[in-house]
């Protein structure tokens, strides 16, 4: 069993370490002759040109990948993108027609709510593209087209490498749409694709620096609440960081959009509450960065212990943070690929310090095939 885990104590830790490979394998074959290619057999450029609205449907961690995708797809394509929990989508009356593209994200391809959302979308004549990690699973079988994430089997119940691979896959969808619709020139598409490819190295770099994060997690492991703050693409990252901590360590954890701080969350701050802050880039998102600096001051004034995930060279964050976690500087839309990794390591280390089975958290299933 130790060999299966590649020398790690848990599959999840092995899967965290496999993330650079998962990204590289997911990208493989999707950029040919200067163009982004999705599923050639089943989705044509004409299909993509006809799209006038995108829905992303998913559950759990895959839903967070969808929330991140919205920022990139809207920015690149100028198409409206709605992201919805599959269990809500199918019981509403969503407005869909044949020019709607529904992107269903599911690691297993068997999640009951996501599958039902796909069926509902098809009944409304929408075009459905599945992003899935499991060859031949039900969701890709029932979809019009499929983009596989090639993360390899994920054993840990809490999704890690599949999450990063899902983000990359949705970005390929965004680039393919932008390319087909002409909202980006081909050299711009090529540049964005290259930046995606370079994330393999950036994630590998982050993995080399997670040991201090694990040590910090052990120090904080007896806390009973952790709050997470993020903005822009850092907001879904905050949600994902909180979900991981709930799932694995059974700690009350909540993620908030930092701009909402004064609308409620700040009331939760008291002496010693750890708050993990995902810092926007001081270069790429200077305005949001300075707002976040103010947020950190506000919560510190009320006693919070701040753990700040900040880009290399972020002097303001380094000066303020009680604990600093440095990530490499990457293009803003790609930051979630690096900022999520320390949060995964943090949640796993807290759970380990508490003596829990990181691979099989209580009450949870790897794939939820009943509603
Ligand atoms: C369960 C797993 C999560 C996963 C979610 C969606 O809750 O514990 O890790 O994100 O299902 O699964 P799917 O297979 O549809 O991505």
331 pairs with which residues across the strands? none
Q: Which tokens sit at 233?
A: 């693409």
pTM over 0.95: yes
Q: Which atom of ligand 1 lies closest to the CA of 247?
A: 8
Task: Supply the pLDDT for residue 210.
Answer: 95
Q: Report the separation in Å between the CA atom of 149 and the middle of ligand 1, taken as the mean of its atom positions.
A: 14
**CA 184, CA 176: separation in Å to the nearest integer?**
10
Q: Report the separation in Å between the CA atom of 368 and the middle of ligand 1, taken as the mean of its atom positions.
A: 7
Find where tokens 């899902």 sit: 166
Sheet holding 225-230, edge to edge: 252-257, 225-230, 274-278, 305-311, 323-327
Q: How far is CA 183 from CA 34, 49, 76, 189, in A?
A: 16, 11, 7, 10
Task: Supply the pLDDT for residue 3.
Answer: 77
Q: Is the CB of 138 under 6 A from ligand 1?
A: no
**CA 15, CA 348: separation in Å to the nearest integer?**
12
Pairing type for strands 35-36 and 31-32 reads: antiparallel
H helical segments located in 283-328: 286-301, 315-320
Known catalytic residue at 53? no
306 pairs with which residues across the strands? 275
Q: Report the separation in Å between the CA atom of 239 and the middle of ligand 1, taken as the mean of its atom positions.
A: 15
By most ligand atoms within 8 Å of CB, the mutation choice from 69, 246, 366 for ligand 1 is: 366
Q: Report the separation in Å between the CA atom of 109 and the middle of ligand 1, taken as the mean of its atom positions.
A: 9
Q: Is the CB of 367 under 6 A from ligand 1?
A: yes
Q: Is the CB of 339 under 6 A from ligand 1?
A: no
Q: Is the CB of 85 under 6 A from ligand 1?
A: no
- Of 5, 291, 360, 366, which one is the catalytic site residue? 366
Q: What confidence tens digit (pLDDT) does each residue in 108-161 have?
A: 999 999 999 999 999 999 999 999 999 999 999 999 999 999 999 999 999 999
Q: Is the CB of 60 under 6 A from ligand 1?
A: yes
Q: Is the CB of 368 under 6 A from ligand 1?
A: yes
**CA 295, CA 277: separation in Å to the nearest integer?**
9
From the first residue on, what is the mean pLDDT of each consecutive set of 10 residues in the chain (371 residues)? 85 96 97 90 89 98 98 97 97 94 98 97 96 96 96 94 98 97 93 98 97 96 97 98 97 97 94 97 95 97 98 97 98 98 98 95 90 83
Q: Is the CB of 332 under 6 A from ligand 1?
A: no
Q: Report the separation in Å between the CA atom of 285 and the middle of ligand 1, taken as the mean of its atom positions.
A: 31
Q: Report the separation in Å between the CA atom of 345 and the middle of ligand 1, taken as the mean of its atom positions.
A: 18
Task: Supply the pLDDT for residue 162.
Answer: 98
Q: Is the CB of 369 under 6 A from ligand 1?
A: no
Q: Which atom of ligand 1 lies closest to the CA of 162?
A: 16
Task: Supply the pLDDT for residue 39.
Answer: 78
**CA 140, CA 135: separation in Å to the nearest integer?**
8
């Amino acid at each position: 069993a130790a060999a299966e885990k590649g020398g790690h104590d848990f599959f999840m830790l092995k899967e965290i370490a496999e993330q650079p490979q998962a990204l590289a394998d997911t990208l493989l074959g999707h950029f040919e002759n200067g163009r982004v290619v999705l599923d050639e057999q089943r989705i044509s450029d004409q299909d993509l040109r006809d799209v006038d609205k995108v829905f992303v449907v998913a559950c759990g961690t895959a839903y967070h990948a969808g929330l991140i995708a919205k920022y990139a797809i809207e920015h690149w394509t100028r198409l409206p993108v709605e992201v919805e929990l599959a269990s809500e989508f199918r019981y509403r009356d969503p407005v869909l027609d044949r020019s709607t593209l529904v992107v269903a994200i599911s690691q297993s391809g068997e999640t009951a709510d996501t599958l039902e959302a796909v069926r509902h979308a098809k009944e409304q004549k929408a075009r459905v593209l599945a992003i899935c990690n499991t060859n031949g699973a039900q969701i890709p079988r029932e979809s019009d087209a499929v983009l596989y994430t090639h993360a390899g089997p994920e054993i840990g119940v809490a999704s890690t490498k599949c999450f990063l691979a899902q983000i990359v896959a949705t970005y390929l969808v965004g680039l393919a749409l932008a390319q087909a619709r002409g909202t980006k020139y081909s050299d711009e598409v090529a540049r964005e694709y290259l930046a995606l490819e370079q994330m393999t190295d950036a994630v590998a770099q982050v993995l080399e620096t997670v040991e201090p994060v694990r040590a910090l997690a052990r120090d904080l492991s007896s806390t009973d609440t952790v709050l997470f703050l993020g903005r822009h693409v850092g907001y879904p990252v905050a949600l994902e960081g909180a979900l991981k901590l709930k799932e694995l360590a059974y700690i009350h954890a909540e993620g908030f959009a930092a701009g909402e701080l004064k609308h409620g969350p700040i009331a939760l701050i008291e002496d010693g509450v750890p708050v993990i802050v995902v810092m926007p880039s001081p270069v790429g998102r200077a305005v949001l960065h300075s707002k976040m600096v103010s947020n950190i001051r506000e919560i510190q004034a009320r006693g919070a212990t701040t753990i700040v995930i900040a880009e290399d060279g972020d002097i303001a964050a380094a000066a303020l943070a009680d604990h600093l976690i440095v990530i490499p500087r990457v293009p803003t839309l790609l930051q979630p690929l690096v900022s999520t990794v320390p949060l995964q390591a943090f949640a796993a280390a807290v759970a380990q310090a508490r003596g829990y089975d990181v691979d099989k958290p209580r009450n949870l299933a790897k794939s939820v095939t009943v509603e």
